[in-house]
Amino acid sequence: MPKYAELDPSALEKVWGVSSLAIVPWGALEWHGAHLPLGLDGIVAEAFSTRLMEATNGVLLPTIWLPITTLPHPMSLQIRTEALRAIVDDTVAGLYAAGARTVCVVTGHYAQGHLIELYEGAMRAMDDHEDLRVLVSTPLQPLGEDALLDHAGRYEASQLMAIRPDLVHADRVVDPISPKASGVLGADPRVATAQEGEALLTRGVQAWIKWIAESTPENLNDDYGKRFDALQAYVDAYYEGSWDEAILKWWAAK
């Protein structure tokens, strides 16, 4: 299992010789209701990225726990947008200098502003290096099924049940099923199962493998353009120059 933090220089060069692919899990420490842990996003992203590493011979980076636009709750942590941009740019540039030519950013946190900033960082990096591909997505987004991208609901809970069932407490779900009461955007997490989570994770890895194999800088830029279009309604409704203010406006409407 090639993990960047555990490789010496000669071992890293040997791995790059087989596959110059780096995998960066991205998480958050964010309120997910009373029934799920604050670190769900990073736990799922890291476990998924480990599976992707094993399937692709990629190099796994340590999880980055530095998001923007977490749910407005006292237990949610976040950083400034400017800091996120610098971290994205410096991490990808550093990996390129170290020998990576494909970088997969697997984000378990997928608030709109966070995703847009990651997409824009990927595009900046590919503009700077014509032989670099940067793929940014959630674990399940390449499946093309938007309903799977819930928050603290059936599908996030199912994935965590497949990974760390001891961290899922369905008996603590607070009614009503709503963002402010229970942290849930999506279906009731009490119907989640480890079997469904395992099936979703398996399908997600397969979709990522196909996406990696077929990606070029050109079609990646096209993909990000389509994703920007899909998020435009959120931007038009809430964004006025600050992602922090945008999520507060969005939260106030819930």
**Domain CATH number, residue 80:** 3.40.50.10310
In this prediction, residue 53 carries a pLDDT of: 97
Question: Is 11 inside a domain boundary?
Answer: yes
In this prediction, residue 139 carries a pLDDT of: 98
Question: Is 132 inside a domain boundary?
Answer: yes
What is the pTM assigned to this prediction?
Answer: 0.97
In this prediction, residue 86 carries a pLDDT of: 98
Question: Is 156 inside a domain boundary?
Answer: no
Residues 114-163: pLDDT tens digits?
Answer: 999 999 999 999 999 999 999 999 999 999 999 999 999 999 999 999 99
Question: Is 54 inside a domain boundary?
Answer: yes
Residue span of the structural domain in which 107 resides: 4-146+208-252
Longest dimension (CA), the chain: 55
Amino acid at 156: E
Question: Is 222 inside a domain boundary?
Answer: yes
In this prediction, residue 1 carries a pLDDT of: 77
Question: Is 135 inside a domain boundary?
Answer: yes
How do beta strands 133-137 and 59-60 pair? Answer: unpaired
Yes or no: say if 23 and 106 are a contact pair by the CB < 8 Å rule.
yes
Question: Is 109 inside a domain boundary?
Answer: yes
Please report, for the chain, how many H helices and E strands are present, in that order. Answer: 9, 4
Contacts 24+ apart (CB under 8 A), 72-80: 72/247, 72/248, 72/251, 73/30, 73/31, 73/183, 75/29, 75/30, 75/31, 75/38, 76/28, 76/29, 76/30, 76/31, 76/38, 77/28, 77/29, 77/30, 78/28, 78/30, 78/244
List phi, psi (to 5°) of 65. Answer: -105, 55
In this prediction, residue 43 carries a pLDDT of: 98
Question: Is 174 inside a domain boundary?
Answer: no
Q: In what order do the strands lie in the sheet with 59-60?
A: 59-60, 21-26, 102-107, 133-137
pLDDT tens for the chain, 254 residues long, are: 799 999 999 999 999 998 899 999 999 999 999 999 999 999 999 999 999 999 999 999 999 999 999 999 999 999 999 999 999 999 999 999 999 999 999 999 999 999 999 999 999 999 999 999 999 999 999 999 999 999 999 999 999 999 999 999 999 999 999 999 999 999 999 999 999 999 999 999 999 999 999 999 999 999 999 999 999 999 999 999 999 999 999 999 98
User: Coil, helix or strand for 17?
Assistant: helix
Domain count, the chain: 1
